[in-house]
Chain A
Amino acid sequence: MSNLHPALIGLISGGVLLGALAGLVAYVTLLERKFAARLQSRVGPYRVGPHGLLQPIADAVKLLLKEDLVPAEADRRIFNLAPVVFLVPCLLIFATIPFAPGLGVADLNIGILFFMAVSSMEIVGLFMAGWSSNNKYALLSAMRAVNQIISYDLPFIMAALVPVLLAGSLRLSDIAAAQEGLWFVFYPVIGQLGFLAFVIASVAAENRVPFDILEAESELVAGFRVEYSGMKFALIQLGEYAHVLGTSFLGALLFLGAWSGPGPAWLGPGWFLLKALGIFLLITWVRWSFIRIRVDQILQISWKVLLPLTVLLVAATAITIVLRGASGG
């Protein structure tokens, strides 16, 4: 390996990661459908393959074969570009996540900043999709998207700052390593509150029920992606699930000790995946149990409740660390 050019190594590891991601995302949709079905006293996908295990592949093939429609009045170039602009940041967030000590594409020293910055870039693709569709539902949805993502990225960042302060580093592998003794979610009071705020803010940042006002199919039909079909729809769907999964991985890394767990070290990535899927199921559980709330109520919750509380939480964390003389940055 060592005689390979570093750029080549990056290319290979990126390719492997992307391939693994696409497969994982496809099967995460199956997991969600099965889980939701059990919640609703149904069976869920069952016909394609044993226990519906081939359903994601059937879905992908179906979407590939669908006619790709572009509305006559749409802004063609932006319309075609939007799914890609939306998808790229959603996949890029995985770049800084270390799946085991030393196993990641890029272990940046500002890993968490990179994650936050890139994940909030998806709004550009979203707005492009909503605007270029030349559809009133899509336009309203795009306006809501900007509102919501700006409102919820702040509490999301604040909640993620709690483990950063506790670990004293912005590098994700350092944060994971700092939890060898005690997962941050078990840190008295602060850890639990931080985790709660993180989950709420990530549900909102991912636009899932009860915060799915962008999609809101009973009001806006399908929101910003109402005009998309076929492969472009699949790209948007892939991006959305990749984002949810990426945030679940981040949550598992920040609060649940990443790869730490019983057993030999090579089990680490397995533990990490299990924890991330646990958070994913928690988010899914919320999604399939609540009804959607209104735009103005969503903004109120963010600015009047969540943001002040998370700011207070960060301040409390900082004070605790100073008082206890724990590891400072």
Chain B
Amino acid sequence: MSAPSPMPADLNPRLVKTLDYTGSERLTMNMGPQHPSAHGVFRAILTLEGEQVVAVDAVIGYLHRCHEKLAETLTYAQYPSIASKTDYVAAMTSELAYVMAAERLAKIEVPKRAEYLRVAVAELQRVASHCLWLGTWCMDMGGALGGGATVFLYCIRERELVLDLFESLTGARLLYGFHQVGGVRYDVPEGWAAECRKTIDLIESRILEYEAMLEDNTFFRMRTEGVGVISRELALDVGIGGPLLRASGVAFDLRRAQPYSSYQDFDFNVPVETAGDCFARYQVRMVEFRESIKIVRQILDGLPEGPISSRPGLKSVAQVRVPKGEMYARVEGPRGEVGCYLIGDGGAKPYRMKWRGASFSNLAVLPHIIPGHSVADVVAIMGSVDPVFGEVDR
């Protein structure tokens, strides 16, 4: 049952950074799986020379819940509510990836209104997820007994507003079960659009406050600029995605490169930064806040009338059947590409399902960028990667 014991870093010369170190011995320090900044259950075995990290061994798997095996035992109607539990900070996007794969395989049409609602919740989810990222990241750098906690509480305050919107839409605050094969499960209640407009206006004004609080703060710049630089080449080699990739100078966003759902109907920018450091990742996400809000506004202005699902009124959970075949569907989650690979066997349950988690691929970059930084930078870099361990371990 125990996790395989990783090799000590010193035996793995590929990852060890040589420093001009005059001390007599190296210190091996365990950061996680239970650590205030482990972001869940990440375990990093750091090899230190003084305060400098020379090597890091990342250990994952503490939150493994057999998601992919579980998907084989649940029907296409049942699994979307479970899919949300992979990346619980952005539940809407993983649900979307699963139902999109099933719909493409079964060649099921989705009504326009449902497509628009899907994009609306995906973008609101991105705002909520980025709020949580900004808060936890600042708490990593600023301390739970300091200014970091202040930013964290401000961000949580704004995230609550988005969760309130989701609650009035779906009845749930964290794990929604909003998407279903063929459309969405709930239509917007009365007054929701007005409430949503009010919320995004408020959040947009609060983003200005965050920026004033952080970007004009010398200490924040000192902690983030030039820290954890991911070069364009490294980003492409390791295969990171999302804001990390765009902060390293690669203009790749699935919403633009391969528009899915109804993204081709909306006007938005894809922010790109070239510095590749923590500050660039921050900048990219701050622009994404605004772009998401812009997309939600466009949807609220032009939400088409019509049905919300092409398969209304399920009488049995086994009613959705998907023909034999394979399909991969991918969406741009708040952390990068979330993919779902589905093999159907003609029945009501998939033969096999595989997740491609954005955080899982993004974490792989840590051993490349952390060595050479001090312990304090490790938490700043880890926070800027924004991992969610539900999605890493599945």
Contacts and interface: CB of A to CB of B under 8 A. Distances in A.
- Of A215, A288, A295, the most chain B CB neighbours within 10 A belong to A288
A290 B142 contact: yes
Nearest to B377: A294
A290 B374 contact: no
Interface stretch (B96-104, B145-153, B237-245, B279-287): B145-153
A208 B378 CA distance: 21
Given A218-B36, A297-B222, A289 B51 contact: no
A295 B148 CA distance: 17
Contact of A42 (B140, B153, B376): B153
Interface string B27-51: 1010000011100000000000001
B134 to A, nearest CB: 12
A110 interface: no
B222 A40 contact: no
B21 interface: no
A292 B143 contact: yes
Given A140-B375, A218-B141, A293-B222, A210 B150 contact: no
A288 B146 CA distance: 4
A216 interface: yes
A295 B374 contact: yes
B65 interface: no
A291 B36 contact: no
B376 A295 contact: yes
B266 interface: no
A215 B138 CA distance: 16
A209 interface: yes
B145 A41 contact: no
B145 A215 contact: yes
A18 B367 CA distance: 52
Interface residues of A, number: 32
Contacts of B2: none
A294 B143 contact: no
Given A219-B37, A291-B223, A212 B146 contact: yes
Contacts of A326: none
B145 A209 contact: yes
A40 B219 contact: no
B223 to A, nearest CB: 6
Interface of A is mostly: loop
A291 B138 contact: yes
Contacts of B51: 140, 144, 295
A295 B378 CA distance: 13
Interface in B338-394: 374-379
Interface in B149-170: 149-151, 153-154, 157
B210 interface: no
Nearest to A144: B51
B147 A213 contact: no
Given A291-B142, A291-B148, A291-B217, A217 B153 contact: no
B375 A288 contact: no
Given A40-B150, A140-B375, A294 B222 contact: yes
Interface in A183-226: 208-210, 212-213, 215-221
A180 interface: no
A228 to B, nearest CB: 16
Nearest to B374: A294
Nearest to A208: B146
12 contacts: A39-B150, A41-B154, A208-B146, A215-B143, A215-B145, A218-B140, A218-B143, A291-B138, A291-B151, A291-B223, A292-B141, A295-B374
Given A41-B157, A218-B148, 17 more contacts: A136-B27, A136-B29, A137-B29, A210-B146, A210-B147, A218-B144, A219-B37, A219-B376, A219-B379, A288-B150, A289-B150, A290-B217, A291-B138, A292-B143, A292-B223, A294-B223, A296-B374
